[in-house]
Structure 1
Amino acid sequence: MELFAVPDLPEIRAGHDLAALIRDAVDLREDDVVCVASTVVSKAEGRSADLDDFPAGPRAREIAARLADHTGEEKDPRFAQAVLEESVEVLMEAPFLLTETRFGHVGVNAGIDRSNTAGGDLLLLPKRPSESAARIRSGLSADRVVVTDTCGRPFRHGQRGVAIGWAGLAPGRDWRGERDRDGRELDVTVENVADELAAAANLVAGEGDGGTPVVVVRDFEWGDHGESDAHFREVETDFVRQAIREWSYE
């Protein structure tokens, strides 16, 4: 398997046709996987915003004040309002905001970015990243597209790439029913291929002002395995989320 960044893409602005820009910059094969950073998807879709677009309500002001008390740093209640409006559930209000986005991703601050914001104060995640992936895919010769983001994980330091949208492939490779090297049947193993591809792409894409937003994964083979559509865990089986709901930061 080979990964390489797509070179010479311009600074992405609202209204840009990402598929056309990618198509003009690289010769794709049908079985390539094209990993596209959510940052440029959001920019193309006009998801840049100003803090003044989010006048703070009472809950946002309360959250900002509480965060300021805990961190010793002033927090803008308009930012808290933006997070609330981009979320369907707030799992933690302190010492940071952990929320579920409207498309099911759980992350800090609803994934709202305050760097590389295309001229605004904020860059929001795409509204429906899998639909974004499908639109990009429709303009490419490659059959598979993954929209990526970076976020942290419980129990570990650092950021890593994750998939927040996909088209042309299932997010999970299902090993259940197959056998291990000792002949034992696997009964729980579902490999999150979408996240693994996103993490691999993030290694190539880089971070900061030297980052490249589109990475091609070439010669990735799914193999003779089943598929799983599961990606974001359902609340009923997400015991960590259930525990967080009962927890408060002191």
Structure 2
Amino acid sequence: MNVFAVSGIPEVEPGDDIAALVEERVDLEPGDVLLVASTIVSKAEGRTATLDEFPTSPRAEEIAGRLSEISGEEKDPRFAQAVLEESTELVMEAPFLLTATRFGHIGVNAGIDRSNTGDADLLLLPKRPSESAARIRAGLSLDVPVVVTDTCGRPFRHGQRGVAIGWDGTPASRDWRGERDRDGHELEVTVESVVDELASAANLVSGEGDDGLPVVVVRDWEFGDHGGSDNLFRSVEGDFVRQALRGWEFARD
């Protein structure tokens, strides 16, 4: 397959038509997958904010105070308040805030970004990224799948990688269960998160700093003849790590 970034995307403003911005700069082809960084989706949807928009609650003061004590750095309770308002659950409260967003994604600080925010203090994730992907897809003259991407860390590993937080026009995963390996054994548990893998591939060419390449096209990749599923975020009932973290308390040595 071929993975390439779309150059020339301008600074995105509230109300901008991302589909139009893309099609002015690249000729999409049948079978392409369009990957769009959540940063520009949020900007187009007006999801920027200032810290002063989040007057602090006693809970936010408590969280910021504890994180300040742990880190030795002053933490702004207004930021803690923003995280609280963008989350449905604090999975971990220390030594950092690991949260569940309203659309099911679990990440640090509810995915709130403090870089590449323009004149704002904060850039919030899109409220419903899969609906954002659907709107972008509907605005394209050629019907191709759209994936909204973000970056986040991974348990048990250093570093960040690209992940999908919203998608439309493709299943989130392809299901290998019931198929056979090379020795004829039936696969029983293998479900491949293709939208995450495509997001990671996109991240390799879009970069993380000041590259200014928030849109990537994947070309000549095929989903294949497999079953598909839109299950990406684990349910609470089936997420045993999340359940374990609920009863875990951070303790400094």
Normalised-by-shorter TM-score class: over 0.9
Q: What are the equivalent positions in structure 2 for 1:60-209 lying under 5 Å apart? A: 60-140=60-140, 141-209=142-210
CA distances 1:89-127 after superposition (whole Å, capped 9, x unpaired) = 001111000000000000000000001113110000000
Q: How far does residue 142 in structure 1 lie from its aligned partner after superposition?
A: 3.8
Corresponding residue of 2:219: 218
Corresponding residue of 2:5: 5
Give the conservation status (yes or no) of the 8 Å contact 1:150–1:162: yes
Letter in 1 for 2:95: P
5+ residue gaps, structure 2, are: none
Letter in 2 for 1:45: E
Counterpart Cα distance in 2 of 1:89 and 1:225? 34
Counterpart Cα distance in 2 of 1:152 and 1:46? 25
Letter in 1 for 2:14: A
Counterpart Cα distance in 2 of 1:30 and 1:22? 15
TM-score by length of 2: 0.98
- RMSD in angstroms over aligned alpha carbons? 0.7
Give the conservation status (yes or no) of the 8 Å contact 2:12–2:40: yes
Counterpart Cα distance in 2 of 1:168 and 1:7? 24
Q: How far does residue 54 in structure 1 lie from its aligned partner after superposition?
A: 0.3
5+ residue gaps, structure 1, are: none
Q: How far does residue 212 in structure 1 lie from its aligned partner after superposition?
A: 0.4
Counterpart Cα distance in 2 of 1:49 and 1:115? 13
- Runs of 4+ aligned structure 1 residues displaced above 4 Å come to none
Give the conservation status (yes or no) of the 8 Å contact 1:150–1:160: yes
CA distances 1:219-243 after superposition (whole Å, capped 9, x unpaired) = 1101111101210001111000000
Distance 1:211 1:159, change over 3 A: farther
Matching of residue 245 in structure 1 with residue 246 in structure 2: yes
Q: Report the 3-state secondary structure (helix = DSSP H, G, I; strand = E; otherwise coil) of the residue aligned with 1:25.
A: coil
Give the conservation status (yes or no) of the 8 Å contact 1:33–1:142: no
Q: How far does residue 143 in structure 1 lie from its aligned partner after superposition?
A: 1.7
Corresponding residue of 1:58: 58
Letter in 2 for 1:161: G
Q: How far does residue 30 in structure 1 lie from its aligned partner after superposition?
A: 2.5
Give the conservation status (yes or no) of the 8 Å contact 1:28–1:142: no
Counterpart Cα distance in 2 of 1:78 and 1:190? 40
Counterpart Cα distance in 2 of 1:58 and 1:124? 22
Counterpart Cα distance in 2 of 1:113 and 1:222? 32
- Percent identity, aligned pairs only? 72
Give the conservation status (yes or no) of the 8 Å contact 2:148–2:166: yes
Q: Report the 3-state secondary structure (helix = DSSP H, G, I; strand = E; otherwise coil) of the residue aligned with 1:244.
A: helix
Give the conservation status (yes or no) of the 8 Å contact 1:97–1:108: yes
Counterpart Cα distance in 2 of 1:155 and 1:20? 40
Q: How far does residue 79 in structure 1 lie from its aligned partner after superposition?
A: 0.1
Letter in 1 for 2:108: V
Letter in 2 for 1:208: G
Q: How far does residue 72 in structure 1 lie from its aligned partner after superposition?
A: 0.4
Letter in 1 for 2:114: R
Count of matched residue positions in the alignment of Structure 1 and Structure 2: 250
CA distances 1:65-105 after superposition (whole Å, capped 9, x unpaired) = 00001000000000000000000000111100000000000
